[in-house]
Amino acid sequence: MMEAITYRPIGIIHSPFKEPKGTPIQPRAAHGVRGTVEVFPEYAAGLEDLEDFSHVILLYHFHLVKGAKLKVKPFMDQQEHGVFATRASSRPNPIGLSILRLERVEGNILYVCNIDIVDGTPLLDVKPYVPEFDIHPVERVGWLEKNVHKLPSARDDGRFVH
């Protein structure tokens, strides 16, 4: 068995969403919603040159999930699927990923738009979004093919929290 891996938060994410229930489930469904990402002062030097990017990838810890499940019923479907075929938060390693518009950087604070993250979520990492690296042509999107149209109105209903 491999050794456990331990991460420490490098910051905290602030948004208007005070609980999972009602939070948009993807940035595209949170159009225009603004928030901030507070990077702890000891990591602020790592933000140098980030303001030159229009979008950032945030990796964060789903700190409110109630435990891991290998089969989940995702928000946009009534059928269970393997957790790795979903973006559900109830995962063996509850790590979230969001690509957000970066409006500006002021000191250790990132001002972001289209945020789909609950207020107080621990930040694990920040990476620049680069379309040439991150956009890939796709041929299929699995079970979401018949459900992706639900995204604009899909909201967290609290099913994966304590």
CATH number for the domain that contains residue 24: 2.40.30.70
- CA–CA dist 140, 36 (Å, integer): 34
- Identify whether the C-beta of residue 37 lies closer than 8 Å to the C-beta of residue 138: no
Backbone angles phi, psi at 51, to 5 degrees: -65, -15
Half-sphere exposure of 117 (CA within 13 A, CB side): 30
* Tally of domains within the chain: 1
Evaluated on CA atoms 83, 135, 133, 55, the torsion sign reads: negative
Other C-beta atoms closer than 10 Å to the C-beta of 34 total 16
- 147 assigned to some structural domain: yes
Contact assessment for residue 143 and residue 76, using Cβ atoms and an 8 Å cutoff: no
Q: What is the pLDDT of residues 26-54, one digit of tens each?
A: 999 999 999 999 999 999 999 999 999 99
- Look up the domain containing 76 and give its range: 11-131+140-153
Q: How far apart are the first and last CA of the chain?
A: 29
In a domain, 1, yes or no: no
pLDDT digits (tens, 9 = 90+) for 66-121: 889 999 998 889 999 999 999 999 999 999 999 999 999 999 999 999 999 999 99
Q: Tell me whether residue 97 is in a domain.
A: yes
With respect to residue 55, please indicate whether it lies within any of the assigned structural domains.
yes
